[in-house]
Structures are given as structure tokens and as C-alpha cells.
Chains A and B, each alone.
Chain A
Amino acid sequence: MGRPLATLLALALAAAAGAAPARAQADSDAVTVISPAGRERIAVVAADGAQMLALDDLARLLRLDVREDSRAGTLSATGGGGVLIMTPGQQIASVDGRLVSLRAAPRRDGGRWLVPLDLLTRALGPVSGQPLEFRAGSRLLLVGDVRVPRVSAAYRAGPERGRLSLELTPAAAHTVASEGGRLAIAFDADAIDLERAPELRGGLATRFGLAADAAGVTLDLGPEVDSYDVTREDGPGGGATLRIDLLARRAVPAAAPAPAPAEDPAAPRPLPARTDLLPEFSTGPAVRLAVIDPGHGGDDHGSSGVSGTLEKDVTLAIARQLRDAIESRIGLRVILTRERDEAVAPDTRAAIANNNKADVFISLHVNASPRPAAAGTAVYYLGIDEYGAEAREIADRRIEPVPIVGGGSREIDLVRWDMAQIRYVGQSGRLAGMLEEELGRRVALSPRPAHQAPLRVLVGANMPAVLVELGSLADEDEEERLASALFQADLVDAIVTGIRRYSEDLGRARQFAPRLAAPGRAAGAVSRVREP
């Protein structure tokens, strides 16, 4: 076969290939381009078993200069970062002299050129000279410096409640607004990449959708919705979880009751209702779980009295009584950091409270001052000056932790985990003050009853935390007193009452929250809003 014939045959084949119709794919296969200029969809067509895009669409979006050199038989695209040269009919392209292989060869389709989708990631990033990210799952093409967090949404329906959870990676500030029975949750981003959307079947939430500007989501509410709670948790890995709890009209708890009038502390009190089926929806008192830390243990005896009483035994005995009293009298759950005579590391003690998302942490100790005047109980909380400028800066941000429906939604900024307490020093001081008052009504206080100090066991606690010195063992009189059932009952009663007051105080603080009618910015805060 002669050369001219071969050329003719090749041309004929190429023409035949070019003539094969390229089929437009369903619109769901289109690529959504997000750039600082905005967003637009570009069509995808199938040809030669590959997904193809129009080169002129890409040239416009990425500001590429496209030229066809008919003599050399090539197609070039020049951008801020280099030159791409393609040859029609060939599955190889050159990016600044470097060869890359393509899923399909560029081909002419009517008056335009089609190029394979993988050209985006393989060649156009470097050529355009700007960041280019193609997210295959959501078919998003991110051009330039745009913020497009991935959002995974899930919805759980419970009796008279519902919860929408939005997981964001990376975190972005949010706002929640309500208008005409629809919640609009917007993010401080160019768009969101909605990886997962919930299927809704009516009830409190009737429809979930992407916001019109694609930078948020919407949730249509059923007529029974009375109010909603927004809580947010920023994780250490840079992500965040936003939870929106919908409450049906009947399910909304009544306003926090006024403090109960003084009554016989030994008399049984009705327990607050427990919702064990959906514990995260529990709307009981502001404090739901207390962790009590009996100081010392094992080989670490702590201080000791002249007649042989050991601090570790006193703290454990009183911790057990406290647990019984708190559980039976105010219906809170209590966890002890040790149940027996064993050594527990300080970080483990804080970790037990943190992992259980305790609302308060109370460490029990007994002083040892041999001087009678220094006897008496005292309450300590963390001092921050000892932890340097970083700690003062964190504390100055003044993000008051508010216990919320859902239990685990405290603010966790990028605070070092071993200094978690710094965020709660204000709250810890309030708790310390109330405990001191209650102790002072029942037992002798030390001459210096409330202190801030760099206490090891409190630093890592990620919730309001105090250390109570119950008395002093080295004082003979008080050693005897500490062993008496009456004195122990007074200590326990004081601490239980202090916790209850603190819980009620927080419960009241919760009532002052924005109303649903005023779309409030809830970023970085916990808010409760009520439909008018």
C-alpha cells in the first residue's frame, strides 16, 4: 500500500470518528464550577466512552487563550501557568513539554472542541496557574481560592423531637434564620459541597434542600414545630458539627421553675423526668452529669491524721455519699473517678469527666495543716495567671459555656486539651462561690475559703471544675469531726445544694435567648429560640 493511500485512509477514518455524534449527558452529570466570580454549570457530553467538556467553556472559566494551528495540526491552550498542546485524535497532551495521557482524545463536535474531563486534573491546573480542584463525588470544580466546606447532613426523628446534624469539613461560621416556616442555615463560604442529604418523611421537618446561593441549606418545618435549638461543636481536627433540634409544641419544657422553697433536705424530691430513649434530647436541669473525684488513692494516701485517718479514705467515703445524695435528691447522674482504693493519674481523672461530657467536676480533698486556725473547708478553682499569656488570651475571649439540649455541645476552640479548664474559669468561680456559701451555712470555713490556684487535677477538665478541701486532718478535733456521720451529712448536703443552685442558675440564664422571629446569628454560640 502506497503512502498517499494510507494517508487518505487515515483521514477518512478520522473524519468518520469525528462525525460520530457526541451525546449530551443527563444534566445531573454537569460540572458545577465555583470560582470567586460565582458559580455556573457546564455541560458534559459522552463520546468515545469518556466524559467530555467543551474547551471553550473551560477557556472562558480558566482564562485560557486557545489557538488552533491547522498547519501543525495542534490545539494549544495558554494560561497564567504554562502551555498545553493537544493533538486531535491523540490521547496524549503536552503540558510545558511534559507528556500526560488522557482518557480520550480531543475531538471536534460541530463548531467546538471537546476535551476529556480528566484534562482538568491532569493538565489544566498547572496551565491555568491557579488552584484547581475537581471533586468527583459532587462534580464540583473549584477554581482559585474558594472556600467550599464539605457538608454531610443527617436527620433523626424522635417522639416530639427531631434533630438535623450537619458535619462540616473544614469548619465555617454559620447563621441560622427562620422565615415563613423555613429554617435557612447559611455558612460563611463560597458554596458548600453537600455530600449527603437526609431523606425526610414529613413530621417536624418536611423538606431539606440546598440554599439558592448554594452556600447553605434549608429545612422546611412542619406546623407542629414550636422552637429549635442550635448547638455547635468545633472539633480539634478543624471540622465542626452543627445540631439543630426541633421541638414539638408539647415537648417544650416549661420555664425553669423558681427555686424550691426550703424544705427538709432529707425528704425525697420528685426526680426530673428522664428520657432514656433519646438521652441527647434530654431537657432536664442545666447540669445533668456530675463527676466526683475522690482525691488520692492507692499508694498515694494524701494527708493523714494523728489517729491514722487517711485523706484517700475520707474522700472516697464522702464521694460515695455525695453520689447517692445527688442521684436521689436532684436526679443527676454521678460518676466517680475511682470506686475503690486505687491510684488514678490526674489526667485520667479529668479524662473521665471529659469523656462522659460531665457538666461539673468536683475534686474532693482534705487539708493537712497542723495549725488549728487553718482548719475548715475551702473551695478552690483554677487560677489562670500561672498558665501564661496564652491562657489569659483564651480566658479573655469570654465564651461562656452554656449547657444545652444535647449534652455535648460545649465550645471547644483550638485550646490545648491539657488546658481545657481555662475556658471555664469564670463558671468555675461561680460554682466555687455557691459551694462556699452553702458550706459556710453548715460547717466551719477556712479563714481563706475561696482561692484560685494552679491545681493539677483541674487544668484538663473541659467543664466548670472545683476542688473542695473538706477540712483538715492534722487538726485532731477536725479529724474526729470528719469521721462523724453528722458532719459528713452536712458536707454532703452543702455540696448537693450548691450544685443544685448552680444548675438552676444556668437554667435561668438559658431563658434569656433570642426569639425565632429575629433571625439571630448563632455562630460560635448556643441559642434557644422560640416561634412566636
Chain B
Amino acid sequence: MTPATRSRRRRRQRGRRALYVLLAVAVLLAGLWAAYTLLPRGPSGAPDPVDAAGGGDRGGPSPASTVLLFYIDEEGTALVSRPVPVPAADTSLVRARLIVERQLEPPEPPLFSPFPAGTALRTIYLTPDGDAFVDLSRHASDGHPGGSLDELFTVYALVNALALNVDAIDAVQILIEGREVDTLTGHVDLRRPLGLNLNWVAPEDPAVELAAREGAS
């Protein structure tokens, strides 16, 4: 074997080794990709049907009662709460559904609804950890006028309506047409469940006092 053939063979061997390394990396990446896409993750991967049916529910039946729902005030500068009656419910999931459906209805003038016209509730999922996933129709984002302030009003009207009025719910994540979304119109981060936040509500609002009382108990 001449030195030239030896060096050629060595080069070939080196080339083959590089090919093997590339192949191994490709297989590894494919595996990771498969694991990433196939494994269920987060709520938009199929939520547990037991939870959707209310089985993972923390709370039991609730009697007919009055809850505080949230609307944009006359000036358009804050959320205000209004007492609204809701019927009795067998489970927290049913109560949550009744509350969201009522919250999506337009308020009496001069208040404004924080939800674009046509916004409908598709499904609610509850987890035993107190997270609610509220799946809204596409109108909630497509029909939204945009702007940070109005987007905050929309998000926190819904979050507060559930977190304040349903014992089994601590935090709410909004889904659109069954999917997790980054934002409604480019501002408020919707990638994780959000908890009760009364910063957008005037300090003298009854909701603030109610939240303080519930927090103390």
C-alpha cells in the first residue's frame, strides 16, 4: 500500500466517520422532534376528558347566587363589577360555564362589554389544580379592536369573573378555537393561566372588598 492510497483511505474513513456522526445527530434530532410533537403537553394537547366532564372538580354543587361580573365603565378607563344572578349548579364546571355565558352577554348601558360581538364560549376545562381553560370562538380575537388597554380589559374581565366567583378556580387561560394562543391582538401574554387581578378595577369597587374578604378567609 503506497502512502497515497493510505492517506486516501484514511480520508475516506474520516469522511465515513463524519457521515456516521451526521446520521447519529439526524436520528437523535428526529427522535427529539417526535417526542416533542407526539407527547401530550399543555392544555391544548387533549385535556383530560374527566376534567372536561367535571370529574377533576374541587368544588361541589352550588346554590343559585349572585356573582360579580366585569364590564368597561362609562369612561372606558377601568373595569367595574356588577352583581348578576346565576342559577344553581351541580358542579364547579357547570357554574363556570353559566358564569362565562353570562359574562359574554352585553351589559346594561352605559357600560360596555369587554368582548367583541359574536364571542361565544366553546368549552371549559378545569384541572384539579384550579386552572380553568376557557375556549372562546375566534371572534374574541378577530373582532377585537386591539390596543393594550382594551385587551387587558377583555382578558381580566373573564379571568376575574371565574377566579373571584368559582371556588375551584384560581387561574384562567384563554384558548381560541381550541388552541393555545400567544395573545388576542398582540399585547397580553396568554401562554399561561392568569390569576385574579383587580388592578384594572377601581379601588372602591365592591369586587375589591369581596376579594379581600375571600383572601382573608
Which residues of A are at the interface with B, using a C-beta cutoff of 8 A? 295-296, 300, 302-304, 311, 346, 365-374, 378, 380, 383, 385-388, 446-448, 451-457, 459, 467, 469, 472-474
Please, which residue of chain A has its CB at the minimum distance from the CB of B145? A368
Residue B166 is within 8 A (CB to CB) of chain A in the complex? no
Bound-state Cα–Cα, A486 to B183, Å: 33
Please tell me which one of the listed residues A373, A386, A467, A473 contacts residue B148 in the complex, with CB atoms under 8 A apart: A467
Please tell me which one of the listed residues A369, A385, A387 contacts residue B150 in the complex, with CB atoms under 8 A apart: A369
Residue B186 is within 8 A (CB to CB) of chain A in the complex? yes
* A451 B199 Cβ-Cβ under 8 A: yes
Bound-state Cα–Cα, A358 to B74, Å: 41
Q: Which of B35-43, B92-100, B187-195 contacts A (4 or more CB under 8 A)?
A: B187-195
Residue B209 is within 8 A (CB to CB) of chain A in the complex? no
Please tell me which one of the listed residues A302, A367, A385, A459 contacts residue B149 in the complex, with CB atoms under 8 A apart: A367
> What string of 1s and 0s marks CB contacts (under 8 Å) between B11-26 and chain A?
0000000000000000
Please, which residue of chain A has its CB at the minimum distance from the CB of B183? A456
* A302 B186 Cβ-Cβ under 8 A: yes
Main secondary structure of the interface of A (DSSP, over half): mixed
Q: Give 9 pairs: A residue, B residue, CB < 8 Å, sorted on A.
A: A304-B146, A365-B187, A374-B75, A380-B148, A451-B152, A452-B199, A455-B148, A456-B183, A456-B190
List 6 A-B pairs, minimum CB-CB distance, nearest first.
A371-B76, A368-B147, A303-B146, A367-B147, A374-B76, A373-B75
Please, which residue of chain A has its CB at the minimum distance from the CB of B112? A371
Which residues does chain A contribute within 8 Å of B152, judged by CB atoms?
Answer: 451, 453
Bound-state Cα–Cα, A378 to B147, Å: 11
* B148 A453 Cβ-Cβ under 8 A: yes
Which residues does chain B contribute within 8 Å of A304, judged by CB atoms?
Answer: 146
Which residues of B are at the interface with A, using a C-beta cutoff of 8 A? 72, 74-78, 112, 145-150, 152, 182-183, 185-192, 194-195, 197, 199
Main secondary structure of the interface of B (DSSP, over half): loop
Bound-state Cα–Cα, A367 to B147, Å: 4
* A386 B182 Cβ-Cβ under 8 A: no
* A454 B76 Cβ-Cβ under 8 A: no
Please tell me which one of the listed residues A371, A387, A456 contacts residue B75 in the complex, with CB atoms under 8 A apart: A371
**How many Å from the CB of A413 to the closest CB on chain B?**
20
Which residues does chain A contribute within 8 Å of B145, judged by CB atoms?
Answer: 303, 368-370, 474
Bound-state Cα–Cα, A456 to B76, Å: 23
**How many Å from the CB of B171 to the closest CB on chain A?**
9
Bound-state Cα–Cα, A20 to B165, Å: 92
* A456 B187 Cβ-Cβ under 8 A: yes
Which residues does chain B contribute within 8 Å of A311, judged by CB atoms?
Answer: 146-147
Which residues does chain A contribute within 8 Å of B192, judged by CB atoms?
Answer: 386-388
Which residues does chain A contribute within 8 Å of B183, judged by CB atoms?
Answer: 346, 456
**How many Å from the CB of B200 to the closest CB on chain A?**
8
* B189 A455 Cβ-Cβ under 8 A: yes
Which residues does chain B contribute within 8 Å of A455, judged by CB atoms?
Answer: 148, 187-189
Please tell me which one of the listed residues A452, A454, A469 contacts residue B147 in the complex, with CB atoms under 8 A apart: A469
Which residues does chain B contribute within 8 Å of A472, judged by CB atoms?
Answer: 147
Which residues does chain B contribute within 8 Å of A300, judged by CB atoms?
Answer: 186
* B147 A373 Cβ-Cβ under 8 A: no
Bound-state Cα–Cα, A467 to B187, Å: 9
Which residues does chain B contribute within 8 Å of A451, judged by CB atoms?
Answer: 152, 199
**How many Å from the CB of A371 to the closest CB on chain B?**
3
**How many Å from the CB of B197 to the closest CB on chain A?**
7
Which residue among A300, A303, A448 has the maximum number of chain B CB atoms within 10 Å of its CB? A303
Q: A302-B146, A469-B147 are in contact. Are A453 and B188 (CB under 8 A)?
A: yes
Which residues does chain B contribute within 8 Å of A385, judged by CB atoms?
Answer: 195, 197
* B187 A448 Cβ-Cβ under 8 A: no
Which residues does chain A contribute within 8 Å of B147, judged by CB atoms?
Answer: 303, 311, 365-369, 469, 472-474
**How many Å from the CB of B74 to the closest CB on chain A?**
8
